[in-house]
Amino acid sequence: MAKITINGISIDPAVHHAALAAANLVSPSAASSNFILVQAKQPLTGPQRAQLERAGAKILEYAPENTFICQYPPSDLSPIRALPFVEWANVYLEGFKIPTSLRPGGQTATANLLSAAPLDLLSNDRVTVNVILHKGVAGDSVRNKIAAAAGLNPATMEVGRNKIRLTVERRRLKDLAATDEVRHIEPYVAPKLANNIARDILRANEAENAGGLAGEDQIVAIADTGLDKGTADDVHPAFTGRVLKLYALGRAGDASDPDGHGTHVAGSVLGDGIFMTFLHPHIGMTARACTQIRGARRPTAAMTPSRQRSTISSGTIAIV
């Protein structure tokens, strides 16, 4: 049988069955949790999924390998374990909930559930984390329960639809993991601009040095949030004369880009190097090609025309 891996923590129930039992991690029933793991002998068929549902296990999501996280209100696991296609079934283990990066040593590699570093139960050091809830659990419904486990005022937490962000003492992580509705906990990494590294990600240097391959006489189609002001005639100088057609699919008659992402991507493709920042010209991957833009996604935020135009300039920096 294969390993189950969740949140960077793995266990092979067949290989480690005796060790799991010795650590009291094989539950006789599901009385302690409404969430279980069901590992199948092979990929489930439609009828087998239906059998699980009839047995009371609502499949929430897949986890490798051949494992399903299920909501299971009954306490008796025997109907699930007795199904002929089920290899292993158990309550959702707390050991999956806290990654190695939040354990002593701050490791980032994956770990075996049985040998992962124990949690620090004494440290008052504080860490900001995202508490990810099981599918179907709304953040507001467990706000007070999570706050109590973390020893916090509920008003200090950022509650989202399916997760809660909070700053907590490390010694409280175990209490958070013991909360049944918690799927896993992950360190919060604040977003930051990285406009000077995307050039390497795109391997733009290789494209520039590839013997003059710049997309000349080619047409590139981009399906994204639109382009700039939504017209092929009044565009940023980097695109002048090279936008052949705009198709407004997401918003009838409006191919503009209030989100900014489509314009940013267009710079990745067509930027012709007329601007210079980070010691590199803003050259796209096919700087001599033409494009057709399809506004395929509904925008999520409003942007003024001047902001849209600046997005081309700054977006090209971010990409090349």
Q: What is the pLDDT of residue 105?
A: 80
State residue 206's pLDDT score.
76
Return the SS3 of 16.
coil
The alpha-carbon radius of gyration of the chain (Å, integer) is: 26
CATH 3.10.450 correct for 4-96: no
What pLDDT shows up at residue 303?
A: 34
Tokens at residue 282, please?
Answer: 């803003």
| 198-319 classified as CATH 3.30.230.10 | no
Position 104 scores a pLDDT of 87
Sheet with 219-224, side-by-side order of all strands: 219-224, 290-295, 243-248
Whole-number pLDDT of residue 292 = 53
pLDDT digits (tens, 9 = 90+) for 3-58: 999 999 999 999 999 999 999 999 999 999 999 999 999 999 999 999 999 999 99
**Mean pLDDT, each 10-residue run in order, the chain (320 residues):** 89 94 94 96 95 96 95 96 97 95 79 88 94 96 97 96 96 97 95 67 73 74 86 81 84 85 81 53 49 46 33 26
> In the chain, which ranges are continuous DSSP H helix?
17-22, 46-54, 78-81, 143-150, 173-177, 198-201, 204-208, 261-270, 305-319
Q: What angle do CA 129, 135, 138 make, to 5 degrees?
A: 70
In sequence order, the β-bridge partners of residue 289 are none
What is the rounded distance in angstroms from the CA atom of residue 4 to the CA atom of residue 295? 40
Q: Where in the chain is the domain with CATH 3.30.70?
A: 4-96, 119-187
Token pair of 20, please? 């799991």
Q: Which residues in the chain are classed under CATH 3.40.50.200?
A: 198-319
Q: What's the pLDDT score for residue 307?
A: 31
**CATH no., domain 119-187:** 3.30.70
